[in-house]
Structure 1
Amino acid sequence: MSRLSVSAWGAAIALAMLAGCSSTPKDETAGMSNEKLYSEARDEAAAGNYERAIKFYERLEGRAAGTLLSQQAQLELAYAYYRTGERAQALATLDRFIKLHPSSPALDYALYLRGLVNFNDNLGLFGSLSRQDLSERDQQAAKEAFQSFKQLVEQFPSSTYAPDAKLRMNYIVNSLAAYEVHVARYYFRRGAYLAAANRAQAAIQGYQESPAIEEALYILARSYDRLGLEQLRDDAERVLKTSFPDSPYLTQGLQAREQDKPWWQLW
């Protein structure tokens, strides 16, 4: 092979390599109108192909910036993130929407979806696998969900989403109260009676309408009893008797005190 032909061959290889390096993936949405792109995104989401729907919604949000279609894409993008388990991205998208569009007619839905993302984070896969109740897990997401639902109900009492938000708020309140009682019970079983009394008192003061208050009052009375605070014990028992006259804790408490046993061993 001549020196010229070798040079030509090397140049051809170099050009091929450069062409390969400079090539970029084809944009399948390049020729689509915004309306067509939105339609494709909706179709993918409806078919459960949320990863592809996310790609389309992200592209549409940028292309249609400043339009109502972009706002709609933001909301549906947040929902697609939520369905794929991308909680952080869903919340970030919703927070951005709420900040940028405080007067949007879809604000009630944005608040509802933000609450739902946090609510379902507490009821996710790991909780069901470990058989933990919501009251036994970290409550930060539950509190954030409650605030979103509360804002929705207060700002948009006639919203389609308000009735379900109220139900979820009630569930969260009961769960937060049950969480405090769960911690109080934990401390009591380990002999940390002052800590148990403090957590029981927190439940009583913060969640007065919750069914968990019945046990909270009993833990409070038993904790004061172990601490030798007889007046406070009698006060807690009196409130328990007045509020829950048929409470089994009243009978169990008397037996526990007489036998000097924890009440849970008498059930």
Structure 2
Amino acid sequence: MNHVRSVGMRKAARIAFVSMVLASAGFGVTACQSDPDIDITKLGLQTEPPEVLYNQGLANMKAGNLAEASRKFDAIERQNPFTEWGRKALVMSTFTKYRLGRNDDAIATGNRYMNQYPQSQDSGYVQYLVGLAYSKQIADVTQDQRAARSTIEAMTKVVNNYPDSEYVEDAQAKIRFARDQLAGKEMQIGRYYLERKEYLAAIQRFRVVVEQYSNTNQVEEALARLVETYFAMGIVEEAQTAAAVLGRNYPDSQWYADSYKLLQTGGVQPRENRGSWISRAGAKLIGA
């Protein structure tokens, strides 16, 4: 009888211990889950050494199971923070989250890595991944362009802080694309004001494109819209200047052809006023 009572007590102790571990991990334990032989690894608890988990993560990546790989890397970082294995796991966690399309999570993980290991051997790559995750969130120009601004900021860090890295060329391409999006947003708003005959507001938007986004694909139209807007306001000299700058930089542009025809309806031709802000901005254009 004493032997039976002792076995029963040991069994109850094991059940209580497993219940305590599961409860601390956030799992509710019901009566039917109180089997002393329960396999806690099936409940998502990663208990292997970090090197084992890391290799399991790589194996899952190779097999195309990115979600499981991400869980393995996350487990390493949780259980071994500020270690070499934890650092390596953060890199792979950022990558897998990006590949899974979990861009916000990838950004958060990547930024945590950059805060903890800004001078590490993988910091340039992680910063690049953060930029890629932002670039995937860039929306159509009719929508908010916050992600475009964040892309520029993140990729500029790649270019400036890691100038010899293999990611610089693509980072620069992503910056150009994001800048074109921002310029496109300004053009969209400018056209809206122009259609409503709110000319001063329209000019302000087109001016931003010419002065701040001179190396984007939006500049030709911005200059043409300035011709149209100033001409509609009766400020012919500025319209002529915008057309002259447009023609000098983009002589074969359809935008220039249309602007020239518009000026002809008023009996004038393109003529540059060197004192105009348009002339000063035009001197900085790629085609100048």
Check conservation: 2:227, 2:239, Cα contact below 8 A: yes
- For 2:204 and 2:183, locate their aligned partners in 1 and report how far apart those are by CA, in whole Å: 13
Alpha-carbon offset, residue 254 of structure 1: 4.2
- Kindly state the Cα deviation for residue 18 of structure 1 after the two structures are TM-superposed: 5.9
Paired residues, number: 235
CA 1:243 to 1:49, structure 2 compared with 1: closer, same or farther past 3 Å? same
Q: Percent identity?
A: 26
- Asked if the contact 2:179–2:216 (Cα under 8 Å) also holds between the matched residues in 1, the reply is yes
**Native 8 Å contact 2:190 2:205 kept in 1:** yes
Is 1:73 equivalent to 2:102 in the alignment? no
- Is 2:36 the counterpart of 1:20? no
Counterpart mapping for 1:177-196 below 5 A: 177-196=183-202
What is the 5 A alignment of 1:131-210? Answer: 134-210=140-216
Contact 2:159 / 2:172 at 8 angstroms: preserved in 1?
Answer: yes
**Contact 2:243 2:260 (C-alpha < 8 Å) held by counterparts:** no
The runs of 5 or more residues in structure 1 that have no matched partner are 1-16, 128-133, 261-267
> Hey, which bits of structure 1, 4+ residues long, moved more than 6 A?
none
Q: Are residues 1:109 and 2:125 paired?
A: yes
Matches within 5 A, 1:27-42: 27-28=41-42, 32-42=48-58
AA aligned opposite 1:20: C
For residue 3 of structure 1, what is the aligned residue in structure 2?
A: none
1:39, CA displacement in angstroms? 0.7
- Which residue number in structure 1 is paired with residue 283 of structure 2? none
CA distance, structure 1, for counterparts of residue 210 and residue 95 of structure 2: 37
TM-score of the pair, normalised by structure 2: 0.73
Provide the rounded CA distance (Å) in 1 between the counterparts of 2:88 and 2:47: 21
Aligned counterparts of 2:239 and 2:227: Cα–Cα separation in 1? 5
1:68, CA displacement in angstroms? 1.5
1:207-246 equivalence runs, <5 A: 207-246=213-252
Larger CA deviation: 43-52 vs 89-98: 43-52
Structural RMSD (CA)? 2.6
Alignment partners' CA distance in 1, 2:46 and 2:181: 49
Query: Larger % of helix: which?
Result: 1
Cα deviation, residue 70, structure 1 = 0.7
CA 18–76 in structure 1, closer or farther in 2 if over 3 Å, else same:
closer
Q: For the structure 1 residues 100 and 30, does the alpha-carbon distance in structure 2 shift closer, same or farther, using more than 3 Å as the test?
A: closer
The alpha-carbon deviation at position 167 of structure 1 amounts to 2.0
Distance 1:22 1:216 in 2: 71
Residue 118 in 1 paired to residue 115 in 2?
no
Q: For residues 18 and 217 of structure 1, do their structure 2 counterparts lie closer, same or farther at Cα, with a shift above 3 Å needed?
A: closer
Aligned counterpart, 1:53: 69
Matched letter for residue 170 of structure 1? R
Q: Deviation of residue 60 (structure 1)?
A: 0.8
One-letter amino acid matched to 2:197? G
Tell me how far apart the structure 2 counterparts of residues 45 and 105 of structure 1 sit (CA, whole Å): 22
Alignment of 1:90-109 (within 5 A): 90-109=106-125
Conservation of the 8 A alpha-carbon contact between 1:146 and 1:172:
yes
